[in-house]
């Protein structure tokens, strides 16, 4: 049983329609609720109609490769099958079926919470225009490496949590804070940081499973700052600290 209201595709309306491959929203619709297409594992394409003004993603649409937008829609835009707001300054929905390397458009200023959660991307190019990245933005994704711009100051909670293939992370010179469980569940091998002053690290910033990343990951710090990092109560927990020129 599903419940909805006028001009809305409500939560669960098409959930578990396992044979559904394509959907074009009706022109009269104004809102696509969260998980309206949840677990539609065969859904490959979705088209946002002209009247839609609110869109929330649906989980486990693992075959979804492209989200299109009507040319008459004033609220959203599609770039290479990825759904953005009208000015392409923020991501609304990144299709789970889209994988490999990905480059964000230069207009992007922020990446929202869980924006790339569970996606198949292996690497991502983030422009310098991005100033904020939300909690769990890349959690559970297939990333193998990532470089964050220098103007990202806050490494949000759980940003790379459970990225089981993630081997290399590069944090920019502007890094000031590293939140809890950022690297939990990863097998990180190399962590590069360009900040000359050790950022504040939350209590469980380097917590991992089954062991902390401080045991096996090599921390690479700017040339001449090894002693400063070694004497820090949190960063000094890394068994291997090496200097590098950047």
Q: What is the CATH number of the domain that holds 114?
A: 3.80.10.10
Over 70: is that where the pLDDT of 37 sits? yes
Q: What is the pLDDT of residue 1?
A: 61
Percent of the chain with pLDDT over 70: 98
Sign of CA dihedral 220, 101, 83, 25: negative
Report, as an integer, the average pLDDT of 19-35: 94
Residues 87 and 116 in one domain: no
Over 80: is that where the pLDDT of 72 sits? yes
Measure the CA–CA gap between 45 and 67, rounded to whole angstroms.
6
At 5, the pLDDT band (50, 70, 90 cuts) reads: confident
Measure the CA–CA gap between 133 and 27, rounded to whole angstroms.
33
Residues 158 and 70 in one domain: no
Residues 134 and 84 in one domain: no
Residues 168 and 228 in one domain: yes
Q: What is the pLDDT of residue 208?
A: 75
Look up the domain containing 190 and give its range: 98-246
Measure the CA–CA gap between 45 and 194, rounded to whole angstroms.
41
Report, as an integer, the average pLDDT of 206-214: 79
Residues 216 and 104 in one domain: yes
Q: What is the pLDDT of residue 236?
A: 95
* Structural domain count, the chain: 2
Nearest in space to 235 (alpha carbons), one of 187, 200, 194? 200
Among candidate residues 42, 75, 95, the one where a domain is terminated: 95
Residues 131 and 240 in one domain: yes
Q: What is the pLDDT of residue 207?
A: 86
Over 90: is that where the pLDDT of 21 sits? yes
Residues 72 and 123 in one domain: no
Residues 131 and 216 in one domain: yes
Among candidate residues 37, 62, 95, the one where a domain is terminated: 95
Among candidate residues 95, 111, 128, the one where a domain is terminated: 95
Residues 68 and 91 in one domain: yes
Q: What is the pLDDT of residue 17?
A: 95
Report, as an integer, the average pLDDT of 207-235: 91
Q: What is the pLDDT of residue 209?
A: 65
Residues 138 and 246 in one domain: yes
């Amino acid at each position: 049983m599903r419940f909805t209201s006028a001009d809305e595709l409500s939560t669960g309306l098409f959930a578990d329609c396992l044979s559904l491959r394509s959907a074009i929203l009706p022109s009269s619709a104004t809102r696509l609720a969260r998980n309206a297409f949840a677990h539609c594992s065969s859904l490959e394409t979705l088209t946002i109609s002209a009247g839609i003004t609110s869109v929330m993603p649906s989980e486990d649409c693992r075959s979804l490769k492209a989200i299109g937008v009507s040319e008459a829609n004033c609220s959203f835009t599609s770039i290479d099958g990825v759904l953005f707001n009208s000015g392409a300054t923020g991501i609304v929905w990144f299709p789970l079926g889209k994988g490999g390397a990905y480059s964000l458009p230069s207009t992007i200023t922020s990446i929202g919470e869980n924006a790339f959660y569970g996606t198949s991307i292996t690497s991502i190019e983030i422009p310098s225009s991005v100033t904020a990245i939300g909690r769990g933005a890349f959690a559970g994704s297939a990333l193998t490496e990532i470089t964050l711009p220098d103007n990202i100051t806050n490494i949000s909670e759980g940003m790379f949590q459970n990225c089981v293939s993630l081997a290399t992370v590069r944090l920019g010179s502007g890094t000031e804070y590293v939140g809890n469980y950022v690297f939990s569940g990863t097998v990180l091998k190399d962590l590069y940081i360009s900040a000359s002053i050790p950022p504040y690290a939350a209590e469980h910033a380097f917590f991992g499973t089954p062991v902390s990343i401080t045991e096996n990951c090599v921390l690479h710090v700017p040339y001449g700052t090894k002693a400063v990092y070694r004497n820090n109560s949190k960063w000094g927990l890394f068994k291997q600290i090496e200097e590098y020129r950047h």
